[in-house]
Amino acid sequence: MPELPEAQTIVSDLKKVLPGLKITGFWTDIASFGKIKDKAAGKKILGLERKGKNILIHLSDNLTLLVHQKMTGHLLYGKWQKKNNAWKSMIQGPLNDPENRFIHLLFFLSNGYQLALCDMRKFAKALTWPTDKLTRLKDIKNLGPDPFDKNFTFGRFKEIISKKSGKIKTVLMDQSLISGIGNIYSDEILWFSAVHPLKPAKKLKEKEIKKIYRTIRFILKKAIRARGSSYIDYRDAFGRKGKYQEMHCVYQMTGMKCKKKDGGIIEKIKIGGRSAHFCPVHQKL
């Protein structure tokens, strides 16, 4: 699932090309997206921002398009034409990557390009909402602080952690507590912090909480610079792979030697139906 770094990469990409363009047409093969058509038609794109894992595209007339990419979705910018009942990229290059072929939503733009939602599993969410009422939308209202918000201080983080009896990995992934962190980056953050994913959050020592707090921004910034993780299907807005998967230290490294060279072999366990990867030597329970 695309997390904060992947969503931020796509927002940064689209900020370079979308503002000022008008939506001139619409296509989808997913019934639930059909209601977007009449609301978005003719609207001008004013700007973009990220809220947690959500991508917000602000339109004219007090309207915002919200896209959550869910498990396998990613937004693409390019040109497509329909051939043999499938959308084919007219631009040679990364957009022809097989992972970019699952087009289920297209916005036709005033410059001749299109904004597409590619989603193999068809779990992605897209809806429109009045811009001035976004804080009432459940997808936004229920989000915890963003790791890059000014109000995400150590004091605030400690307060969040200290009250939770759940496993620290689960707490880090709870979007109502901290927004934007998912399975990949919670693993990486805890590996760097030398904290076992099963450790109860409220039992963490202050030095462990400080380490995690500092590491959250360190890892997320590093992943953004690398344009996200393309472990399987994620691609940026121009169809290119991210590079942070090449820097993973623990995620999907089961059976490999720990990169800290401490003699540990990376293990995998299940926590609440999600996988967790850790080194049993320096991440002791």
Q: Where in the sequence numbering do the catalytic residues fall?
A: 2-3, 53, 274
- Tokens standing for residue 209: 């909480």
Q: How far is CA 74 from CA 13, 50, 141, 231, 265, in A?
A: 12, 14, 23, 14, 33
Tell me how far apart the 2 most distant CA atoms of the chain are, in Å: 60
Q: Which residues contact 196 (CB under 8 A, 6 or more apart)?
A: 168, 190, 278, 283, 284, 285
Q: Which residues contact 184 (CB under 8 A, 6 or more apart)?
A: 3, 229, 231, 248, 251
Q: How far apart are alpha carbons 138 and 32 in whole angstroms?
A: 18
**CA 38 to mean position of chain CA atoms:** 28
Cβ–Cβ under 8 Å, residues 167 and 190 = no
Burial class (CB in 10 A: 0-12, 13-18, 19+), 93: exposed
Q: How many CB atoms lie within 10 A of CB 140?
A: 18
Burial 150-189 (b: 16+ CB within 10 A, else e): eebeeeebbebbeebebbbbbbbbbbebbbbbbbbbbbbb
